[in-house]
Amino acid sequence: MPNTFIPEHEVYGSLSAVGIKTPRHIFVDDQGKLADAPFAAGDPVVVKGIARDLWHKSDAGALAFCDFDADALAAEYSRMRERVSQGHEWLGALVAERVVFGRAGNAPSEIFVSLQRDRCCGAIVSFGFGGLLTEDWAREMKQSLLVWPVSAYTPSEAFEELSGHWLGKILLGKLRQGKPLVTAEVLRGFLEKLWRLDELMARENIGLLEINPLVVDGAGELVALDGVGLRAAETPLEPCPVSFHDDSFLNPRRIAVAGVSAKAGNVGGMILENLRQSLLGEQGLVVVKPGLEEFAGIRCVPDVAALVDDPVDILILALPASACVSMIEQLCALDGGAEVVYIVAGGIGDGADKEGLGERLSGLIDSRRRAGQWCPAIVGPNGLGMLLSPLKLNSLFIPQSKLNVQFAPDSDVALISQSGAFLITRLSRHSNLNLKYGFSIGNQLDMKLSDFMALIERDKSVRVLGIYVEGFVGGDACAVAKLVEQFRSEGRHVIIYKGGRSRLGEAAAASHTGAMTGDYHVQKRLLHKAGAILTESFNQFNAVLKWMAAYPDLKKLGKLAIVTNAGYETVGSVDTLGDNDPGRLYELSQDDREALGQVLQRHGMQGLVAPANPLDLTPMADEDVYLDCVKAMLEFGAGVVMLGLVPLSEQLDTQTLTQAEAFAARLKALAQSHDRLIGIVVDAGVPYQKYKAVFERQGFPVFDGMDMGVLGINVLKNSR
């Protein structure tokens, strides 16, 4: 494998090509050439030993400060080459002027800059405190490094962030008694040059350039004193288009299943049984099974060769890992048979793959796509299945007795999950979560998250898309971010939980799905900038998905009012809001308090309940009190009302549910007439599931605790 290291003198050349200033310098690979250096006797210079893969010169004795003297430098050249050559391949010496640079008192003023072309997120610019203490500053100062994905940020946007950062304040003299080291115009111009440098790196196949330190010289210009880089291991190619039509996935006409048997618990058998209930009917299904003409009333074909003249849209492989790869190889050799192949099995490209099956299959797909040969779109491996409500189609290998899937063709919610278990447990936990589409995408060996997002984006009826992903394959984080932007431009919402953020989580994701998790900090900035609603826990994801599924056309989130019959919920709700944004809670004016007091008086609760927000109505309140208080909060101007109903109160109808049904309907009318959000909390056990269902049927988000409902509001507020 060729060496990819880029030494400092070559980095200087790249920087100069885009107008970034470097010290006056000369690189020599023979000490006799030092006499040609562009320095006068006595000029202060720095001598740097240049060697292959030498990143830290001072550690290897490859750095010397002196005044220019050709003979003395020749002697230093010889000594330095002898020291460095013991551990590195010597290339020569760089003699550069010693730059006197500005300092800001005791504050750090040296800068670290890097440009890296990340395989998941594209080009990334990092900007932070530099010098010998770069790593120490990073440890001591939280978020000391600014990170800008080039595809999402402009130089002007980067400048705005830098201006509010400690380093920017130091450079621009914004700290107390600080004096500017550089003008805003120069700093903004430098960032523009970094964006041009990224374009040069793309042309010249450079994967990484680091400048450390970057300083401000006496003329007020930014100068790169030191730099190294790496070339990309190989030239990236544009991804090949996935070879399937929209209808092959969202509206398939024929599906084949391989790996079906009558044995109890057989995965293929469970998939087939679920598919039989779809609108495809038995005539739209085929079983690949040698030796039989039919299986359970469904036509059989002996092998995939029989599909070439009678192709299917989707072929589901419920086979062992090695058999799956062999069958795809057969399809490719035949040049047809199925537009999409869905691999159920794991053990292909993940922690359980001991035979190199993932590399074998990836190599096959890559070679055929590069050669322009036919190749099916591959989903998975490790894909649990999919749900297509318009066809009432369920290809999960979970029996209906375990997961009672409720199809909702008119739903405006979809869910894409790298983990099949995450998909089915969301459906199990949230009985009123009705999906138009649900996809378990597995390892993303071929079809990526962005491919599925693009499919769903075309169906404009989907207003809310939930995503669970453990890793982005090459370049896909950028593609996902662009699709998020497209969703948001259409007033649609994308909720994302990114797994594998910690080192332990990364290892777990690699063993489970083979996911390359990448740098979450960069991915988070990229996706947040695109407009995604990012969640940091499963609880946050669940809460936000409930809110968004109930209010898919949400554009603006107003301030919060809380009405409950339990004092602990008033305390807990405010605790969950936290101290970071005290203005999030709607503040009652004096007129509001008087009006609310009149409502309470009308219901005989004056002197028992204080007119406040949060409002604790005590267990004495019935449905009429709740309704009038919620109406009052909406009329005052609250944008969201969290309604806490502890159903053990004798005043609430939790038995016949007649009053509860009427109450829920009137609440729904209130939410619609005021165009505001109402969330319901029923903090009680199993005996009250039917009571919760009353509000779920009206389309309300129903939570088991006040903290969960407010948690979702926190995330939504911070995303806007």
According to the model, what pLDDT value does residue 237 have?
A: 40
φ/ψ (deg, to 5) at 250: -80, -20
Per-residue pLDDT band for 504 (boundaries 50, 70, 90) equals: very low
209: β partners: 115, 229
User: Residue 83 and residue 62: Cα distance in Å, rounded?
Assistant: 8
DSSP 501: -
Q: Which two tokens stand for residue 564?
A: 């409950």
581 vs 625, higher pLDDT: 625
How many whole angstroms separate alpha carbon 188 and alpha carbon 19?
13
Residue 353 or residue 662, greater confidence: 662
**Paired residues of 440 in beta bridges:** 417
Q: Are 55 and 257 in contact (CB under 8 A)?
A: no
Residue closest to 220 by CA, chosen among 101, 83, 57: 101
Please state, in angstroms and rounded to a whole number, the distance separating the CA atoms of residues 198 and 49.
27
What pLDDT does 71 receive?
A: 92
Q: Which tokens is 31 given? A: 């000490």
Specify the pLDDT at position 278: 96
pTM of the predicted model as reported, rounded to 2 decimal places:
0.82
Place of tokens 């070439």: 308
Output the pLDDT for position 431.
Answer: 75
Average pLDDT score over residue span 464-484: 91
Kindly tell me if the per-residue pLDDT of 117 is higher than 70: yes
Q: Which residues are within 8 A (CB) of 565 and not within 5 positions of it... i.e. 6 or more apart? A: 616, 617, 618, 619, 620, 621, 644, 645, 646, 649
Quick one: tokens of 327?
A: 């069958």
Q: What is the pLDDT of residues 293-345, one digit of tens each?
A: 999 999 999 999 999 999 999 999 999 999 999 999 999 999 999 999 999 99
Among the ranges given (350-354, 504-508, 583-587), the one the predictor scored with the smallest mean pLDDT: 504-508
CA-angle at 701, arms to 699 and 704, nearest 5° = 135
Contact 93, 28 (CB under 8 A): yes
Report the number of secondary-structure helices (H) and strands (E) in the chain: 22, 30
Lowest mean pLDDT among 7-21, 315-329, 604-618, 652-666: 604-618
Structure tokens that stand for 325 in this block: 């790869």
CA distances from 514 to 340, 422, 631 (A): 21, 16, 52
Q: Starting from the edge strand earliest in sequence, which strands make up the sheet with 90-97, in order?
A: 25-28, 90-97, 44-51, 63-67
- Whose structure tokens read 């914004």? 174
Nearest to 627 by CA among 658, 657, 659: 659
DSSP state of 585: B
Nearest to 470 by CA among 323, 351, 600: 351
Strand order in the sheet with 393-394: 393-394, 386-388, 437-440, 413-417, 464-469, 493-498, 533-535
pLDDT for residue 506:
47
Q: What is the pLDDT of residue 198?
A: 92
* Mean of per-residue pLDDT scores for the chain: 89
Contact 289, 256 (CB under 8 A): no
Tokens representing 407 are: 């199809």
3-state secondary structure 373-432: CCCCEEECCCCCCEEEHHHCEECCCCCCCCCCCCCCCCCCEEEEECCHHHHHHHHHHCCC
Calculate mean pLDDT across residues 121-125: 83
More confident residue, 515 or 58: 58
- Mean per-residue pLDDT for 181-208? 94
Q: Which domains does the chain have, with CATH numbers?
A: 24-97 (3.30.1490.20), 111-231 (3.30.470.20), 315-550 (3.40.50.261), 560-718 (3.40.50.261)
Q: At what angle do helices 520-530 and 476-489 cross, to 10 degrees?
A: 20
How far apart, in whole angstroms, are the C-alpha atoms of residue 381 and residue 442? 6
Over residues 531-577, the pLDDT tens digits come to 999 999 999 999 999 999 999 998 888 999 999 998 888 888 788 77
Dihedral (Cα; 587, 591, 592, 593), 10-degree rounding: 90
Q: What value does the mean pLDDT take over residues 653-673?
A: 96
- Rounded to an integer, the average pLDDT of 228-247 is 61
Q: Which residue has the tokens 């299986």?
A: 295
Mind giving me the DSSP string for 281-316? -GGGEEEE-TT-SEETTEEEESSGGGGSSS-EEEEE
* Predicted confidence (pLDDT) per residue in 511-523, tens digit: 444 444 457 888 8
- Rounded to whole angstroms, how far apart are CA atoms 167 and 32? 43
**pLDDT score, position 133:** 53
Rounded average pLDDT over 359-386: 93
Q: Is the pLDDT of residue 467 over 60?
A: yes
Closest to 719 in 3D by CA, of 542, 499, 469, 494: 494
